[in-house]
Amino acid sequence: MRDTSLSVNKMASYCLTVSRLQHALGLGVRRLHITTRLSAHGKVAMSRFEPNNFLNYEKLQKNIEIVRKRLNRPLTLSEKIVYGHLDDPVGQEIVRGRTYLRLHPDRVAMQDATAQMAMLQFISSGLPRVAVPSTIHCDHLIEAQVGGAKDLERAKEMHQEVYSFIASAGAKYGVGFWKPGSGIIHQIILENYAYPGLLLIGTDSHSPNGGGLGSICIGVGGADAVDVMAGIPWELKCPKVIGVKLTGSLSGWTSPKDIILKVAGILTVKGGTGAIVEYHGPGVDSISCTGMATICNMGAEIGATTSVFPYNHRMKTYLNKTGRSEIAALADEFKDNLVPDSGCEYDEVIEINLSELKPHINGPFTPDLAHPVAEIGAVAEKSGWPLEVKVGLIGSCTNSSYEDMGRAAAVAKQALDKGIKCKGHFTVSPGSEQIRATIERDGYAKILRDVGGIVLANACGPCIGQWDRRDVKKGEKNTIVTSFNRNFTARNDANPATHAFVTSPEIVTALAIAGTLKFDPEKDFLTAANGEKFKLQPPNADELPVRDFDPGQDTYQHPPSDPGNLRVDISPQSQRLQLLEPFEKWDGKDLEDMQVLIKVKGKCTTDHISAAGPWLKFRGHLDNISNNMLIGAINLENNKANNVKNQLTGDYGAVPDTARYYKKAGVQWVVVGDENYGEGSSREHAALEPRHLGGRAIITRSFARIHETNLKKQGLLPLTFADPADYDKIRPDDKISIQGLKKFAPGKPLKAVIKHKDGSQDTIQLNHTFNETQIEWFQAGSALNRMKELQKQ
CA separation for the pair 50, 742 (Å, rounded):
47
| DSSP secondary structure code for residue 74 in this structure | -
CA separation for the pair 582, 124 (Å, rounded):
9
Pick the catalytic residue: 47, 681, 682, 702? 681
Continuous H helices in 174-288: 185-192, 222-229, 256-267
Q: Coil, helix or strand for 134?
A: strand
Three-state DSSP string of 590-657: CEEEEEEEEEECCCCEHHHHECCHHHHHHCECHHHHHHHECCCCEECCCCEECCEECCCCCCEECHHH
In this structure, how many other beta carbons lie within 10 angstroms of the beta carbon of residue 378?
A: 12
CA separation for the pair 467, 85 (Å, rounded):
40
Query: Do strands 31-38 and 44-55 pair parallel, antiparallel, or not at all (unpaired)?
Result: antiparallel
Short-list 622, 689, 613, 615, CA closest to 656: 689
Short-list 400, 406, 414, 415, CA closest to 442: 406
Catalytic (active site) residue 139: yes
Positions of E strands within 152-300: 176-178, 199-202, 216-219, 234-237, 240-247, 275-280
Catalytic (active site) residue 205: no
Catalytic (active site) residue 204: yes
Element (H, E) at 395: strand 389-395
Q: Could you give the dihedral angle defined by the CA atoms of residues 227, 231, 236 and 240, in that order, rounded to the nearest 10 degrees? A: 140
CA separation for the pair 37, 23 (Å, rounded):
26
Could you give the C-alpha distances from 502 to 141, 505, 781, in angstroms and in order? 22, 9, 40
CA angle, 84 as apex, 82 and 88 as ends, to 5°?
100
Pick the catalytic residue: 106, 112, 151, 204? 204
Pick the catalytic residue: 683, 691, 696, 768? 683
CA separation for the pair 362, 608 (Å, rounded):
20
CA angle, 609 as apex, 606 and 614 as ends, to 5°?
90
Pick the catalytic residue: 137, 140, 186, 371? 140
Tell me the β-bridge partners of 594.
736
Amino acid at 491: R
Could you give the C-alpha distances from 259 to 76, 292, 544, 585, in angstroms and in order? 21, 10, 21, 47
Pick the catalytic residue: 33, 314, 486, 499? 486
Amino acid at 99: T
Dihedral sign for Cα atoms in the order 252, 253, 257, 260? negative
Residue 467: which residues within 8 A CB-CB, separation 6 or more? Answer: 143, 144, 461, 492, 493
**Residues recognised as catalytic:** 139-140, 204, 486, 681, 683
